[in-house]
Chains A and B, each alone.
Chain A
Amino acid sequence: IQMTQSPSSLSASVGDRVTITCRASQAINTYLAWYQQRPGQVPKLLLYAASTLHSGAPSRFSGSKSGTDFTLTISGLQPEDVASYYCQQYSSAPFTFGPGTRVDVK
């Protein structure tokens, strides 16, 4: 299963609503996770099952699904959200990651 993400990078202002899209090459039900990796840090799980917020992740992060398209939304971008974001399907092996989206603050 191939995973694509768009955009590959974006720059937005603090407080903006940011949307990242991930598309699976075939149906994966809701077996999708989102990760945040800040520069120089280990990746952190944000959401799983497409829309379930992981314990400790800020509530401004949310996820949704439409067919094989998945969306990560940041409702009110914060300076600490500067990071790369990755989707990952775990419907079937190999458990592929998307190529990532880099988010910067203007």
Chain B
Amino acid sequence: EVQLVDSGGAFVQPGGSLRLSCEASGFTFATSGMSWVRQAPGKGLEWVSYISSSAIYYADSVRGRFTISRDMAKRSLFLQMDSLRVEDTAVYYCAGTGRFFQDWGRGTLVTVSS
């Protein structure tokens, strides 16, 4: 059974940084593309970033501020978020595998506010 456990969300001030994590199990993590998808309160889904063995992509809204990475040994996906803005406030979901998302974490809440 595929499991994605995302964590790391917190309250942070504008301009601050945060690192989200997602622990994966139940599938071949090393060969699977993974994404972060976010959802602002009361709003729709927004794809944020994707990583695979051959590519890394970012949404325009986060490029240059967020960095996606993964640790194969720990079977973990990460999202380093710098220069956070109020508009980054959202539930962040770890999602996979591949370019569409059959598996989702439960989400972790990031609140950016002064």
Which A residues fall within an 8 A CB radius of B? Answer: 31, 33, 35, 37, 42-45, 48, 54, 84, 86, 88, 90, 93-100
Contact = CB atoms under 8 A, between A and B. Distances in A.
Contacts, number: 57
Given A42-B93, A44-B104, 13 more contacts: A43-B101, A45-B102, A48-B102, A90-B98, A93-B57, A94-B47, A94-B58, A94-B60, A95-B50, A95-B57, A96-B47, A97-B46, A100-B44
7 contacts: A35-B45, A42-B93, A43-B104, A45-B101, A84-B44, A88-B47, A97-B45
By DSSP majority rule, is chain B's interface helix, strand, loop, or mixed? loop
B86 interface: no
A91 B14 CA distance: 34
A86 B104 contact: no
B75 interface: no
B44 A45 contact: no
A14 B106 CA distance: 29
Pairs A-B, 8 closest by C-beta atoms: A93-B57, A90-B99, A33-B100, A100-B44, A97-B45, A95-B47, A45-B102, A42-B104
Interface string B18-47: 000000000000000001010000001111
Interface of B: 35, 37, 44-47, 50, 55, 57-60, 93, 98-102, 104-107
B50 A93 contact: yes
Contacts of B50: 93, 95
